[in-house]
């Protein structure tokens, strides 16, 4: 598989098969992704690969907090405080596609709520990856992390695996650090669900659109 194909195949998968992913597969993916670039070769990434009972402890803990009304809070500001177009329009359309694919009406708060809960279970993927960053690292390291995470997703495609990078898995950093034994001072960047795609699930059958090149690029000569 070439890089172009992997870029086009990769998508945010939100339903996974009940099929295990081996440690060897995760190690192979991370071994490829570690070649991602980083400023001064700092390689700021620290990864927790979580499966089995520990995954169940984490996911049930996040769900419990959410159902109790605790909305949590990421270690940094991921989204804009105030949205504007075209970003707001794309965000709204993304949500509309998701819920319309599932036949969940905009006014059906209960079903929308339950769908959101599935985020905290990584959509039942067998592996959850959590990405941590030393607190001393600054904005450039977040850029480095993005390239590293994309490298993981592309390497996963080559392995026949699907992924979904999730800000929601970074919503309860104190809980996750406590359960995994990380210092509370470290930054939890986000998480990622990894597993085999359930290709029969409706939620995996839609694709969010991408803008044409002329929308976001200007050429100067």
Q: Quick one: pLDDT band at residue 129, thresholds 50, 70, 90?
A: very high
Q: Quick one: pLDDT band at residue 205, thresholds 50, 70, 90?
A: very high
Given a cut of 90, is residue 170 above it in pLDDT? yes
Given a cut of 90, is residue 153 above it in pLDDT? yes
The mean pLDDT of 96-110, rounded to a whole number, is 93
Q: Quick one: pLDDT band at residue 133, thresholds 50, 70, 90?
A: very high
Q: Quick one: pLDDT band at residue 106, thresholds 50, 70, 90?
A: confident
Ramachandran area for residue 77 (φ above 0: left; ψ -120 to 50: alpha; else beta): beta
Q: Quick one: pLDDT band at residue 70, thresholds 50, 70, 90?
A: very high
Q: Give the per-residue pLDDT at 1.
A: 85
Q: Where are the domains of the chain?
A: 3-80+120-205
The mean pLDDT of 177-196, rounded to a whole number, is 98
The mean pLDDT of 136-154, rounded to a whole number, is 98
Could you tell me the pTM of the whole model? 0.96
User: Distances in Å between the alpha carbon of 118 and those of 59, 151, 174?
Assistant: 9, 25, 20
The mean pLDDT of 179-190, rounded to a whole number, is 98
| Secondary structure class of 194 (helix, strand, coil) | strand
For domain 3-80+120-205, the CATH class is: alpha beta
Q: The tokens of 24 are what?
A: 């060897």
User: Distances in Å between the alpha carbon of 5 and those of 9, 31, 179?
Assistant: 6, 20, 38
18-34 pLDDT, tens digit per residue, is 999 999 999 999 999 99
Mean pLDDT of the chain: 97
Nearest to 167 by CA among 151, 181, 146, 152: 146
Q: Quick one: pLDDT band at residue 38, thresholds 50, 70, 90?
A: very high
Q: Give the per-residue pLDDT at 201.
A: 96
* Residue 65 CB neighbours (<10 A): 17
Given a cut of 90, is residue 121 above it in pLDDT? yes
Q: Quick one: pLDDT band at residue 116, thresholds 50, 70, 90?
A: very high
Q: Give the per-residue pLDDT at 174.
A: 98
């Amino acid at each position: 598989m070439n890089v172009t194909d992997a870029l086009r195949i990769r998508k945010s998968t939100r339903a996974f098969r009940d099929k295990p992913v081996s440690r060897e597969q995760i190690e192979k993916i991370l071994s490829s992704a570690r070649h991602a670039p980083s400023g001064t070769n700092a390689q700021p990434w620290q990864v927790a690969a979580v499966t089995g009972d520990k995954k169940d402890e984490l996911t049930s803990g996040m769900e419990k907090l959410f159902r109790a009304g605790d909305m949590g809070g990421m270690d940094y500001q991921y989204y804009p405080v105030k949205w504007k177009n075209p970003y707001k329009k794309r965000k709204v359309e993304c949500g509309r596609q998701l819920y319309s694919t599932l036949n969940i009406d905009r006014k059906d708060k209960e079903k929308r709520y339950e769908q959101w809960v599935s985020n905290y279970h990584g959509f039942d993927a067998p592996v959850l990856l959590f990405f941590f960053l030393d607190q001393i690292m600054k904005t450039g390291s977040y850029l480095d992390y993005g390239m590293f995470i994309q490298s993981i997703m592309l390497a996963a495609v080559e392995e026949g695996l699907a992924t979904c990078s999730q800000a929601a898995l970074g919503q309860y950093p104190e809980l996750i650090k406590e359960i995994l034994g990380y210092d509370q001072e470290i930054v939890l960047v986000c998480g990622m669900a990894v597993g085999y795609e359930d290709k029969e699930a409706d939620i995996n059958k839609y694709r969010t659109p991408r803008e044409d090149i002329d929308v976001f690029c200007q050429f100067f000569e």
